[in-house]
Structure 1
Amino acid sequence: MYLHRIIAATLATSVIAQTQDAPEVTSSPSDHVYEAILPENPFFDKGSLDGNIRGTVKAQSAADGKGVSFSVSFRNLPNEGGPFLYHIHDAAVPSDGNCTATLDHFDPFNRGESPPCDANEPHTCQLGDLSGKHGKITQEPFTKEYIDPFVSLATDSVQFFGTKSIVLHFGNKTRITCANFVKAGVEETGN
């Protein structure tokens, strides 16, 4: 019985140690800009989608180096299936455009998806859950600008997302389209 308590306590401590709130970024480099531009062809080609969602997610270090300033723009959204979600995913889009290969949401602090992100407590959300922290896509066209203080463009930070991808989802989490973040001035290969 004593051994069972030790094992249970060890497992509980292990789970707690794996997750933590995201710390605010205070030194994102001022000269870094990344952009994800959606491709012409959608990954999901069923339903009312006419071509692909058009749009970009531009990310640059906030003026004071505290977090990242995002400029988001999407248009040509499907007529059904919203409100739409968008997230930074853990892996880049491969050259064949397979959005499933982007893996899960960017979540270096092992927060997981449950319970859902609470926009009133963004430090407790997955780093990649941009629509959870800053609002779902609810209108056509959709444009939004905000600063996310929990992600970074410093390549040596665990909160760095510049080598990852952006994925747009229907409200039921089906992946519609995706694109890689690319450093401004650097031509992307593949996708």
Structure 2
Amino acid sequence: MHSTFLAGAFMSLALSVAAQNAPVVVDNQPVSFHHASLLPKDNATIWGGIQIRPQQDSHALQVQVVIGGIPEGQALNYHIHQYPVPEDGNCYATGAHLDPYGRGQTPPCDITKPNTCEVGDLSGKHGPAWAPPGEDFRVTYLDFFLSNTPGQPAYFGDLSWVVHGPNSERLSCGNFDTFGKDWQEWDA
């Protein structure tokens, strides 16, 4: 019994030490642009895209999101997930949210303290997607915790973007593509 208690205490200590706040990323590449489009799905009306690009004279990355076809009265969460979408388009195969610092989802993300949220919890850090009937959700914001530098813990460029319904079901998803300095401006 004593060894079981000690093992549990050490496990709790290890988990609490492992989880940490996300640091501000200061080494983003100046000419690395990423875009992901949602795949068409039979079970959802939504469509959209996300683009993430560097900001001149800032450590932040600019995120532009467009989601259309949102069911009336619903607010949808969207996240960067830890794996790309496989060829069969299975959004559930993308794993959990991008969370390199072990934050987890409990307690829920606090929009006023984005460094304490999972790195990939974009709607938790910046607000869910919603729109009045007949309109599209369009938003642009800065995120200081994502990395566009391959090999960094918060790098998202080879991962996926997933939009969730009200019960956390995965409505649609898409993989990020990376573009260099010849990338064209996207009209969000």
Report the TM-score range of the alignment, normalised by the length of the smaller protein. Answer: 0.7 to 0.9
Whether contact under 8 Å (1:29, 1:65) holds in the other structure is no
Matched, 1:161 2:156: yes
Structure 1: segments with no counterpart, 5+ residues: 187-191
Residues 45-81 of structure 1: per-residue CA shift (max 9 Å, x gap): 1xxx4xx42211000122235131101111122336x
TM-score (norm 1): 0.86
- 1:7 is displaced (CA, Å) by 3.6
Matches for 1:1-191 after TM superposition, within 5 Å? 6-39=6-39, 41-42=40-41, 45=43, 49=44, 52-79=45-72, 82-139=74-131, 140-184=135-179
TM-score (norm 2): 0.87
Report the secondary structure of 2:87's partner residue. coil
- 1:172 is displaced (CA, Å) by 1.3
- 1:107 is displaced (CA, Å) by 0.6
Residues 95-154 of structure 1: per-residue CA shift (max 9 Å, x gap): 111101111111111111111100011111011110010010121310000111011101
Report the secondary structure of 1:179's partner residue. strand
Report the secondary structure of 1:133's partner residue. helix
Give me the whole-angstrom Cα distance separating, in 2, the residues matched to 1:97 and 1:169: 15
Percent identity between the aligned chains? 35
What residue identity is the alignment partner of 1:53? I
Whether contact under 8 Å (2:81, 2:162) holds in the other structure is yes
Cα 1:105–1:113 shift into 2, 3 Å: same
Report the secondary structure of 2:53's partner residue. strand
Give me the whole-angstrom Cα distance separating, in 2, the residues matched to 1:8 and 1:76: 47
Whether contact under 8 Å (1:61, 1:67) holds in the other structure is yes
What residue identity is the alignment partner of 2:96? D
Structure 2: segments with no counterpart, 5+ residues: 183-188
- RMSD of the TM alignment (CA)? 1.9
